[in-house]
Amino acid sequence: MLDLRDVGQTVVAALAPFAHAKGVDLALEQPTTPVFARANTEAVEIALSNLIENAILHDGAGAVEVTVDHGPAITVRHHGPGLPPVEEEQIFKPFWRGPHAVSGGAGLGLAIVDRAQRAQGGGVFVKTPEADGATFVLTYPSAD
């Protein structure tokens, strides 16, 4: 059993210097009560770190929001250029890179997130708002 708030705090604190160096505000919102999930700490950290790093690198508006909620879930939202119109499954395939991808990546980050989530019985979903950016949602089995 894992309190997702602890992982959210750890990962956001670790990536805050990276966000600051890129001129991106990184914010964490979470409830005051525990958000327990049946999940592996390291796998959650890997998945969340990959999503936040991607959001920081692809954000055009200077803000990335991380939200822990009682789903149990963790949401990562950025306001950058968003995703091209492709099938959701496509973006989680190894080596897939969007047309606005920053140079230097191999296209493995989202594939790693997907595999880490499935390995622990969770999921990852993407929402692409009409205006801008993207929202990724990590879901986990409840500890109840």
pLDDT above 60 (res 14): yes
pLDDT tens sequence across 43-100 = 999 999 999 998 888 766 689 999 999 999 999 998 877 666 655 666 777 655 565 6
The CA distance from 114 to 91, in Å, is 10
- Which CATH number fits the domain that encloses residue 26? 3.30.565.10
Residue 99 lies in a domain: yes
Residue 52 lies in a domain: yes
What does the block give as tokens for 96? 């897939």
The CA distance from 50 to 96, in Å, is 15
Residue 90 lies in a domain: yes
Distances (CA, A) of 50 to 32, 46, 83, 85, 130: 25, 6, 16, 21, 23
Determine the pLDDT at residue 24: 93
The owner of tokens 């920081």 is 56
For residues 20-31, give the mean pLDDT. 95
What does the block give as tokens for 115? 């595999």
Residue 144 lies in a domain: no
Residue 71 lies in a domain: yes
Residue 22 lies in a domain: yes
- Number of domains into which the chain is organized: 1
* Range(s) of the domain holding residue 23: 2-139
